[in-house]
A and B are shown apart, each in its own frame.
Chain A
Amino acid sequence: MGKYNMHVLVCGGTGCHASESETLLQNLKTEVLEHGLENEVQVIVTGCFGFCEKGPIVKIMPDNTFYTEVTPDDARVIVEEHLIKGRKVNRLLYTHPETKETVADSKHMDFYKKQLRIALRNCGFIDPENIEEYIARDGYEALARSLNELTPEQVIEIIKKSGLRGRGGGGFPTGLKWEITRKSVSDIKYVVCNADEGDPGAFMDRSILEGDPHSVIEAMAICGYCIGSSIGLVYIRAEYPLAIERLKTAIAQARDYGLLGEDIFGSGFNFDIELRYGAGAFVCGEETALIHSMEGLRGEPTVKPPFPSVSGYFGQPTNVNNVETLANVPPIINQGPEWFSTIGNEKSKGTKVFALAGKINNVGLIEVPMGTTLREVIYEIGEGIKDGKKFKAVQTGGPSGGCLTEKHLDTPIDYENLIASGSMMGSGGMIVMDEDDCMVSVAKFYLEFTVEESCGKCTPCRVGNKRLHEILDKITQGNGTREDLDRLRNLSHVIKDTALCGLGQTSPNPVLSTLDNFWDEFVEHVVDKKCRSGQCKALLQYVIVPENCVGCTACARNCPVNAISGERKEIHLIDQSICIKCGVCMEKCKFNAVLVK
């Protein structure tokens, strides 16, 4: 090994930076130098440790000591005590809030349970194109045990007891779904994996398929065993070429190993998987639309019941599960339902993967136990808002979720709570907005998506969403009225009440939640004709600052629509009813007398 035998890692995240980690770093470096340790100890800045509330954080390697709330003055004691004498500085160690014991090793800190990887357990760990690495990590053990040691009923019971619910957004109990499909009598049944991840910004399913395809294959085979099916179909968007490639490789490998095909594990159970490609319609994530699309029909939802569990693909009982749901199945069987049900909260068990996006520092994929608060996700795991801006809202549940605000930050994330707050779990998109975002524009943006993705089958979604979008557009153009706000609300409620499928029923969520949580901003747009974040260009006002105006007439001479009046050497005035907001006056003014607000 190289020359250093110790490393001091100083957190360089935004949170720690704010609490003087920069000075701490300098102090540590000075101390190391002063004590002549520069050839043995390396002091280095790292990315965020994610424990910002206890920052600044210092980690000593190789012994993995984790110091919290380290001040610049602590540099000396760390160097002298820990680095030289090899004694840990107890007062800087993390104290467990309940047991009051100090914890030296970060791996045993509760904090690191904030992110618990079950579905993503192998992502970023194994080579997805090598089945052996999967097998080395308990792969296919759950399938082998199910086939050899358990009856289908017992496996279903395990899944039911675990409390696993659908991760695609609906939250339907997975075990119950399997049981219903099992009870549907038919010679042919199908296991369908819904990999038509359509939420903009959500990509956990893609990541699982790309990083751990065998977990999905194994779970589908287990499901097939439980419901009495020998055919699995993965409905995957054609826009996921890498996931398709990895999945194909994985399926081929599983066949080679006899883990797919006939008489798996000598149990007499046959199962194989085929791929079906989706053309990227958002609505095809809805299970009935997905099935129609697989049948070669137009991707449109139909009324449920009948549920696919009873009558699905070509009229046969079909069990549709989302990728993330399936990825949870093997660990549940391996580690038992009791283990799984201790994670999460009362009604929502296990973990959920979220795709963090928007104005947040750590954009990325995270997996947290159900019941984690939005605050923990945004501020601790996501490391807060970019550029130190103020948090404004977080949109969960994809395009048809709702925008939650400051007051919801301490709400535990689970299916029921999110719905109660006016949003939903969806597939796990989480888009953070800051003070620069205009909430009317945000609502408009989401509606644009649902208008684009509506299949057109039912009136409320086909025409209603279009009208919602038009009203929102009108408001952002500065032409909205108070009546428009009433119209928005009524129409949103009617669409929720009457649309055929989940897409339509939830598409007004961004409108309703922004109306509820940002009413003042809507009123400002329609009454004061103002957009506080300055995003609605049509609502900008160019005004003359009387103190600065010298009456040079440059603005008036250059205004293309003669909106500016005023005599030479007198203060000028812009007629807002004529102004087209071209900005020429501001450009031409040499005295900073034109202001945009």
Chain B
Amino acid sequence: METIKLKIDGKDVTTTKGTTILKAAKEFGIQIPTLCYLHLEDLNIENKPAGCRVCVVEVEGRRNLAPACATECTDGMVINTHNIRVLNARKTVLELILSDHPTDCLVCAKNGICELQTMAQEMGIRELHYQGEQSHYREDTSPAIIRDVDKCIMCRRCEMMCNEVQTVGALSAVNRGFMSVVAPAFEMNLDHSVCTYCGQCVAVCPTGALTEVDHTNNVIRALADPTKTVIVQTAPAVRAALGEEFGLPAGTLVTGKLTAALRRLGFNYVFDTDFAADLTIMEEGTELLNRLNRHLKGEKVALPILTSCCPAWVNFFEHQFPDMRDIPSTARSPQQMFGAIAKTYFADKIQVKRENLVVVSVMPCLAKKYECQREEFATDGNPDVDFSISTRELAHLIKQSNIDFMSLPDEDFDNPLGESTGAGVIFGTTGGVIEAAVRTAYEVQTGKKLENVDFKELRGMEYIREATIDFDGLPIRIGIAHGLGNARELLQDIKDGKSHFHAIEIMACPGGCIGGGGQPLHHGDSSIIKARQKAIYEEDRNKAIRKSHENPYIIELYEKFLGKPMSDKAHHLLHTHYFDKSKEITVE
């Protein structure tokens, strides 16, 4: 690669041709502020519309200022990143953004974690010299996501996520000039659009324009109701990220403190979604082997089988590939399996009526909010899972309840729905569900004991991965995709008859649940997601049992209640069916 020399703020800088000014400066310790720019390096996600113009710098000899994020260095360039011309321009631009932004920061969902707020503070904005009309739009509330569009600063990160990464196409810029804003087509409501509620838009929004629907008050109300027994389940990815909300470095496992905190919040039972993940493996793994063996016998069955634990992914194929809805596994997601078992088996066990049992889930996900509101997951109008809150909401709940998280002791989950294996834990990362399935399916299919449960070939961060696992002479071809755009590729291959896989794991969010829309904000630092992944595998390694079918409480559940995997009862409680939603897009 060609090396070039330039000067940034008087410093001699050497970089390779094609490097942006922003990057070259960063390598030499010069932090040029950015707002619309977003780069999740490990995930190869970049947003650089060069629209906010906060990162402008002076390039000598150039007529106007250059956006550092989108201007490539050239040999001999002389750059000033903070002379008076640049500072005046940058501050003026920031003031302009602020002049069209509500100033209700104290009651904003993003208060304290808003990138615009931080920048205003860092740039020392004390006065707005250019005030005037502010743009107003109606607020849009969906089952999972709230759009408070007045706070949109047109950074277009959400649009990039929704269109380029997820290929969902629910959000794009509409209108012109001062009235331009990111919205669903025809400015319809999100719940009338193709939105999957994956929440990646929320995960990257620098301001309070996109936030989750807050269900913490519903939880507080349930906990305060003496007639209710309130139980909680917490997803695998939560324990690998919650610590960040309390100042711990990314990748710190806080399973014990999380359990303790939930108990102190007043939940009657603190359970683990990982238990339900083990249960999922029993059902989904059985279904996989079932289809596989019928296929081997020459029957015509739908293969590859696709995982179905990700609710945004389910929404995606219901909207975009409705004709292929017989391919994914019919197994419900762990959240919903948990709810179904809790409100039948467990309710009976503790002798609490269904309507008096409240199931709360803590999820790294916003689509889970929508999932638990789906009609098919309710009995007589009583949902299997009553409320789903995100990792971020749980952190707020803990803080509100005067719990000093950092000084909490490590505590264990309650039984019987709190016991899990390493296989359940790795559901939180891309590659984890299929690895968990392989651990069980191998032993069931071959009848042999698996010595090494670490399938490293299924792990990683590459968007589309594939591996062939040797089932004692039978090669099982496995595909993995995370990010819905990548899922689309595999799905399109199946549609075109080009797919050679037996099983495919799909997670909607880049990185899997650890990168979910309900997780603490990464603010563009993809190393955070990588650290969470490391933590998940660490938790798996430390587990005594690492195969779902060896979970004693799972064995007990089948013995005492369900019979065997795919039994009628299991079907009724643990499986579902999918809908054609391609026609559900409405324009008001």
Contacts and interface: CB of A to CB of B under 8 A. Distances in A.
- Are chains A and B touching in the complex at the 8 Å CB cutoff? yes
A455 B181 CA distance: 10
A461 B173 CA distance: 16
Contacts of A552: none
Contacts of B175: 456
Given A303-B71, A451-B178, A463-B96, A458 B130 contact: no
Interface string B42-67: 00000001111110100000001101
Interface in A280-318: 281, 298, 300, 302-303, 305
A466 B132 contact: yes
A464 B96 contact: yes
Interface in B50-104: 50-54, 56, 64-65, 67, 70-72, 85, 88-89, 92-93, 96-97, 99-100
A459 B54 CA distance: 9
B53 A500 contact: yes
A460 B133 contact: no
Interface stretch (A191-199, A339-347, A486-494): A486-494
Contact of B176 (A452, A460, A491): A452
A465 B49 CA distance: 19
A498 B172 contact: no
Given A459-B52, A499-B53, A453 B177 contact: yes
Interface string A425-460: 000000000000000000000000001111111111
A456 B173 contact: yes
Nearest to B85: A497
Interface string B298-312: 000000000000000
A454 B96 CA distance: 15
B1 interface: no
B154 interface: yes
B92 A490 contact: yes
Contact of B89 (A281, A451, A470, A497): A497
Nearest to A281: B176
Contact of A498 (B56, B71, B131, B173): B56
Contacts of B179: 456
Nearest to B172: A298
Nearest to B129: A487
Contacts, number: 111
Nearest to A500: B50
A76 interface: no
Contacts of A451: 177-178
A179 to B, nearest CB: 20
B178 A462 contact: yes
Interface string B163-205: 0000000001101111111000000000000000000000000
B320 to A, nearest CB: 19
Contacts of A497: 56, 64-65, 85, 89
Contact of A458 (B51, B85, B178, B181): B51
A494 B97 CA distance: 13
A513 interface: no
B180 A462 contact: yes
Contacts of A300: 173
Contacts of B172: 298
A496 B85 CA distance: 12
A41 B127 CA distance: 79
Contacts of A500: 50-51, 53, 67
A505 interface: yes
A467 interface: yes
A303 B71 CA distance: 8
Contacts of B64: 496-499, 505
A314 to B, nearest CB: 16
A60 B418 CA distance: 109
Contacts of A496: 64
A455 B154 CA distance: 11
Contacts of A302: 49-50
B92 A494 contact: yes
B93 A460 contact: yes
| Residue from the set B49, B51, B131, B180 with the largest chain A CB neighbour count within 10 Å | B51
B176 A459 contact: no
Given A462-B154, A497-B65, A454 B178 contact: yes
B130 A467 contact: yes
Nearest to A464: B96
Given A462-B154, A498-B56, A500-B53, A455 B177 contact: yes
Contact of B88 (A452, A462, A490): A490
Contacts of B93: 459-460, 464, 494, 498
Contacts of A463: 96-97, 99-100, 130, 178
A453 B176 contact: yes
Given A494-B93, A496-B64, A456 B176 contact: yes
Contact of B50 (A281, A298, A303, A461): A303
A466 B181 CA distance: 15
A456 B177 CA distance: 4
A497 B96 CA distance: 14
Contact of B51 (A457, A465, A466, A487): A457
A498 B89 CA distance: 7
Contacts of A467: 96, 99, 130-132
A466 to B, nearest CB: 5
A454 B53 CA distance: 15
Contacts of A460: 53, 93, 96
Contacts of B72: 305
A458 B177 contact: no
A465 B179 CA distance: 13
A453 to B, nearest CB: 7
A455 B53 CA distance: 15
Given A496-B64, A497-B56, A491 B177 contact: no
A216 to B, nearest CB: 29
Contacts of B96: 459-460, 463-464, 467
Interface in A362-394: none
A431 B67 CA distance: 34
A491 B50 CA distance: 19
| Residue from the set A305, A460, A467, A499 with the largest chain B CB neighbour count within 10 Å | A467
A184 B97 CA distance: 39
Contacts of B176: 281, 452-456
A498 B52 CA distance: 9
Contact of A470 (B65, B92, B133, B181): B133
B92 A458 contact: no
Contacts of B178: 451, 454, 456, 462-463, 466
Interface in A346-360: none
B162 to A, nearest CB: 14
Nearest to B48: A303
B272 to A, nearest CB: 46
Given A467-B96, A487-B129, A494 B154 contact: no
Nearest to A306: B72
Contacts of B130: 463-464, 467, 487, 491
Nearest to A467: B130
A299 to B, nearest CB: 9
Interface in A471-528: 487, 490-491, 494, 496-500, 505
A463 B67 CA distance: 18
A459 B89 contact: no
A458 B176 CA distance: 11
B95 to A, nearest CB: 9
Contacts of B177: 451-456, 461-462, 465-466
List the 9 shortest-distance A-B pairs measured between CB atoms, nearest first: A456-B180, A454-B177, A463-B96, A470-B132, A467-B130, A494-B92, A303-B70, A498-B53, A466-B178
Given A456-B181, A464-B130, 18 more contacts: A298-B173, A302-B50, A303-B67, A303-B70, A454-B177, A454-B178, A455-B176, A456-B154, A456-B175, A457-B180, A459-B97, A460-B96, A463-B130, A466-B132, A467-B131, A487-B129, A491-B92, A505-B64
13 contacts: A303-B50, A452-B176, A454-B178, A457-B51, A457-B154, A458-B51, A459-B54, A460-B93, A463-B96, A466-B132, A466-B133, A470-B132, A500-B67
